[in-house]
Amino acid sequence: MKKRSVSGMRYKWMRTSIIIVSALLLLVLMLFAVFCTSYYYNTVRSGLESKAKTAAGFFENYVTSSYNEYYISVIRYAETFEDGDSLELQFIGTDGRVFKSTNSITSGGKPETSDITRALETGTLQPYIGKSKSGERIISVSAPILHSNGQVLGLMRYITSTKLIDRQILYSVMFATLIAAFVILIVVILNIVFVRSFIEPVNEITRMSKRISAGSYGIQIEKSYDDEIGEMVSSINEMSIKIAQSEKMQTEFISSVSHELRTPLTAITGWSETLLYDEQMDAEARRGITIILREARRLTKMVEELLEFTRMEDGRFTLNIEQIDIMAELEDSIFTYSELLKQEELEMSYEPCDDEIPLIPGDPARLRQVFLNIFDNASKYARDGKRIDVSIKADSDYVIIKTRDYGDGIPEDELERVKMKFYKGANAKNRGSGIGLAVCDEIIRYHGGKLILDNAEGGGLVVTVMLPISSSVNA
């Protein structure tokens, strides 16, 4: 889950930064496209307006003494027009019809664009950007040619297609898009480098933190950074050392107290058993001695569990491995414990495996300890259900032993913590050290197996012991 979270953080960072940069670049591209369009179109229109104004002024000053001279000058000017490869020049009469053009196709036609109408009406130069009668996009400028008396003789109209302009705009936008793509690529590369420099140490810290939380107290994370990550590493290392020291002190204290308690408990148990042989003891005294003996035995068992766990913590725990018949060991444990269950009016149901289970490597005494501890734990929580089910089966890799009680089960949020030492749950009502399942889990782990706790459908707890058939024992 942690790895997925780190990967998710990497994905979120990359996604957010790329989206932000892409959105900004898209906005810049849109503004650039608008600017290019406005710039190119305005530049061409201004050029046409300047050209039309100059040419119209020429006609007004030099060739408007008579209408005949005007028409002759129009024809001569159109025939000698030098920019015919990029521009079309039209001379339009007051009726809006083209009477002379550098393009013979449009001669005699009536363009009917707004610049012609406005120029004839107002007697001023008028531009037009839009579609021609043929549907082609054009830029045109109509300049009125005025007689000396102020009368409009006609219009001089310059026209150019926007194909070349649009192509130039497209090239400019495409070039800007390539630059934007390059910028995004640079951003992605820089983000990968930055995220890797951030995520890799986080991954390492996460991995080591998981080891610390799993019980490897005292281990240190290599400090390779002098920034905030380095400070976090220092804090985690200091925490690991302090936890290790605390755990060591706790283990030594438990071991010392447990050893000190064994001697008086042994004496109490022995003298209690001796006193019970006195036939002259009255019933009330016998009952009191019996209670003392039962509690002394319970405390003795608790002390043994604590000593067992401190040996595991100190690395002094060993297994006597041999090839064992695990079904026989389980059945012996069931037989041993079923007599105690009968006294508590609990029924134990056993479902053996129909197929033959091969011999597996294991410590028979330790495994019987596990089975008896699991049965004892089940009996504490199965009193309402009055029943405990035990089954054994095998697959290609594991022997699987399941024990189910019919009690209230364990809250889902406590399942993972029940195997922790001294944990008894928020609503635990039964007395005990809270270390039995922790010891069982360690023994099974030393055998290379798994101890799994889960709530059963319909109520109750299922404890699953999985022991490997092949040798994988940490002896």
Q: Which residue ranges form the domains of the chain, and what is each CATH number?
A: 2-167 (3.30.450.20), 228-314 (1.10.287.130), 322-468 (3.30.565.10)
Backbone angles phi and psi of 454, in degrees to 5: -155, 150
**CA dihedral of residues 15, 21, 22, 23 (deg, nearest 10):** 110
Kindly tell me the burial class for residue 250, based on how many C-beta atoms sit within 10 Å of its own C-beta (0-12, 13-18, 19 or more).
Answer: middle
pLDDT at 2: 43
The rounded distance, in Å, linking the Cα atoms of 371 and 362 is: 13
The two most distant CA atoms of the chain are separated, in Å, by: 160
- Closest by CA to 114, choosing from 152, 155, 164, 162, is 155
The pLDDT profile of the chain, 475 residues, written as one tens digit per residue, is 444 445 566 777 788 888 898 999 999 999 999 999 999 999 999 999 999 988 888 777 665 556 677 777 888 888 888 888 888 998 898 888 888 888 877 777 888 889 999 998 888 999 999 988 888 899 999 999 887 777 788 889 999 999 989 999 999 999 999 999 999 999 888 888 877 777 777 777 777 777 777 666 677 777 776 777 778 888 888 888 887 777 777 667 766 776 677 778 888 888 888 888 877 788 888 888 888 888 887 788 777 777 776 766 666 667 788 999 999 999 998 888 887 777 777 888 899 888 888 899 998 988 988 898 888 888 877 666 678 899 999 888 899 999 998 887 888 877 777 777 666 654 555 545 567 788 888 889 888 899 998 888 878 889 999 999 876 555 4
pLDDT at 1: 41
Q: Which helix (H) or strand (E) holds 402?
A: strand 398-405
Contact predicate 180/28, CB 8 Å = yes
pLDDT at 66: 65
What is the reported pTM? 0.49
pLDDT at 180: 92
The rounded distance, in Å, linking the Cα atoms of 115 and 160 is: 14
